[in-house]
């Protein structure tokens, strides 16, 4: 959805069988979204948004935080 909304510039997107990742710039801030599509029909999502000025500090943390998202 974000890829079609005004104000979003998508810089990375990838999807697998039961997951999807989207990252880019929204209103001058970096965003990262990861979704897991559970077998139980529940979609689990993590959304991280931060100023570009702290990119070097936050980028190493994003993968660990998003990777902690789990589902059945």
Mean pLDDT, the chain, rounded, equals 89
How many alpha carbons lie under 13 Å from residue 23 in its C-beta half-sphere?
15
Each residue of 7-40: pLDDT tens digit?
A: 889 999 999 999 999 999 999 999 999 999 998 8
The pTM assigned to this predicted structure is: 0.82
Residue 43's pLDDT is 94
Q: Answer yes or no: CATH 3.10.450 is held by domain 2-67.
A: yes
**In this structure, are residues 39 and 72 in contact, taking their beta carbons and an 8 Å threshold?**
yes
Average confidence (pLDDT) over 51-64:
93
Residue labelled with tokens 């980028």: 59
Q: Which residue has the higher pLDDT, 65 or 72?
A: 65
Give the residue extent of every domain in the chain: 2-67
Average confidence (pLDDT) over 30-55:
94
Q: How far apart are CA 34 and CA 9, in angstroms?
A: 16
Q: How far apart are CA 33 and CA 37, in angstroms?
A: 13
Q: How far apart are CA 21 and CA 35, in angstroms?
A: 6
């Amino acid at each position: 959805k974000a890829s079609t909304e005004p104000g979003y510039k998508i810089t990375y997107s990838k999807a697998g069988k039961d997951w999807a990742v989207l990252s880019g710039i929204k209103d001058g801030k970096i965003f990262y979204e990861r979704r897991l599509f559970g077998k139980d029909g529940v979609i689990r999502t993590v959304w991280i948004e931060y100023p570009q000025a702290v990119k070097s500090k936050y980028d190493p943390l994003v993968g660990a935080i998003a990777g902690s998202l789990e589902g059945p």
